[in-house]
Structure 1
Amino acid sequence: MPDSTSRNTLSRQWELLKCLPGRAPGVTCAQLQAYLQDMGYQVSKRTIERDLQNLSGLFPLQCNDRGTPWGWFWAPGATLELPGMGLGEALSLVLVEKALHFMLPVGLRQGLEPRFRQARRKLESLAEGNATARWLGKVASVQPELSLQAPEIDEVLLETIQRGLLEEQQLHCHYYAAHQDRERELTLNPLALVQRGLITYLIATAQPYTDVRQYAIHRFRQVELLPTPTVGGEQFDLQTYLDSNALQFGPTGKILLQAWISSSLARLIKETPFSSDMTLEPLVEGYRLQATVSDSWQLRWWLLQQGESLCVEAPEDLRAFMRETLRRTLLRYNAPGIGSNHQATTGRECDI
Structure 2
Amino acid sequence: MADLILRMIPRRVRISTTEIRERLKSEYGIETTLRTVQRDLITLEASEFPLECDDNRPAGWCWRKDATAFDIPNMDPVTALTFKLAEKHITRMMPHGVISALKPYIKAADERLKLTKESTLSRWPDKIRVVSRNLAMIPPVVTEDVTDSVYSALLEERRFKADYRTMTGRKKTYEVNPLGMAFVDGLTYLIASLNEHQDPVLLLLHRILKIELLNKPVSVPADFDLDAYIARELTFPVGGPIRLVIKFGNKEDIIRLEEAPISVDQKITLREDGAFELTATVEDTLQLHWWLRGYGERVEVVAPKGLRHKFVEIAAQMSTMYMAK
Global fold match (TM > 0.5): yes
Pairwise CA distance, 1:292: 1.2
**Relative to structure 1, is the Cα distance of residues 252 and 200 closer, same or farther in structure 2, using a 3 angstrom cutoff?**
farther
Q: Distance in 1 between matches of 2:195 and 2:274?
A: 55
What aligned pairs does 1:7-46 form with structure 2 within 5 A after superposition? none
Of 169, 188, 191, 2:176 maps to 188
Q: Given residue 307 of structure 2, which amino acid in structure 1 is its aligned partner?
A: L
What aligned pairs does 1:109-120 form with structure 2 within 5 A after superposition? 110=101, 113-120=103-110
Whether the 8 Å contact between 2:77 and 2:116 is mirrored in structure 1 is no
Q: Distance in 1 between matches of 2:254 and 2:174?
A: 47
Pairwise CA distance, 1:195: 0.9
Tell me the secondary structure at the aligned position of residue 164 of structure 1. helix
Q: Distance in 1 between matches of 2:79 and 2:283?
A: 40
Q: Distance in 2 between matches of 1:246 and 1:99?
A: 26
Whether the 8 Å contact between 2:96 and 2:141 is mirrored in structure 1 is no
Pairwise CA distance, 1:287: 1.0
TM-score by length of 2: 0.69
Instruction: Quote the residue 2:6 is aligned against.
Output: none
Of 246, 250, 253, 2:240 maps to 253
Larger radius of gyration: 1
What aligned pairs does 1:131-210 form with structure 2 within 5 A after superposition? 131-178=120-167, 180-210=168-198
Q: Given residue 254 of structure 1, which amino acid in structure 2 is its aligned partner?
A: P
Tell me the secondary structure at the aligned position of residue 238 of structure 2. coil
Q: Distance in 2 between matches of 1:199 and 1:335?
A: 36
Q: Which runs of 5+ in 2 are unaligned?
A: 1-71
Instruction: Quote the residue 2:112 is aligned against.
Output: 122
Pairwise CA distance, 1:291: 0.8
Q: Distance in 1 between matches of 2:99 and 2:294?
A: 41
**Relative to structure 1, is the Cα distance of residues 260 and 104 closer, same or farther in structure 2, using a 3 angstrom cutoff?**
closer
**Relative to structure 1, is the Cα distance of residues 184 and 328 closer, same or farther in structure 2, using a 3 angstrom cutoff?**
farther
Q: Which runs of 5+ in 1 are unaligned?
A: 1-81, 337-352
What aligned pairs does 1:259-298 form with structure 2 within 5 A after superposition? 259-264=246-251, 265-283=253-271, 284-298=273-287
Q: Deviations over 1:200-254 (max 9, x none)?
A: 1111122232222222211222222222222225543323434x44311142432
Of 188, 210, 216, 2:204 maps to 216
Of 219, 227, 237, 1:239 maps to 227
Tell me the secondary structure at the aligned position of residue 136 of structure 2. coil
Q: Deviations over 1:307-343 (max 9, x none)?
A: 111111112221122121221121111111xxxxxxx
Whether the 8 Å contact between 1:201 and 1:214 is mirrored in structure 2 is yes
Q: Distance in 1 between matches of 2:314 and 2:146?
A: 39
Tell me the secondary structure at the aligned position of residue 289 of structure 2. helix
**Relative to structure 1, is the Cα distance of residues 107 and 322 closer, same or farther in structure 2, using a 3 angstrom cutoff?**
closer
Q: Distance in 2 between matches of 1:105 and 1:333?
A: 40
Pairwise CA distance, 1:191: 0.8
TM-score by length of 1: 0.64
Pairwise CA distance, 1:95: 2.3
Whether the 8 Å contact between 1:143 and 1:197 is mirrored in structure 2 is no
Q: Distance in 1 between matches of 2:169 and 2:303?
A: 35
Whether the 8 Å contact between 1:123 and 1:134 is mirrored in structure 2 is no
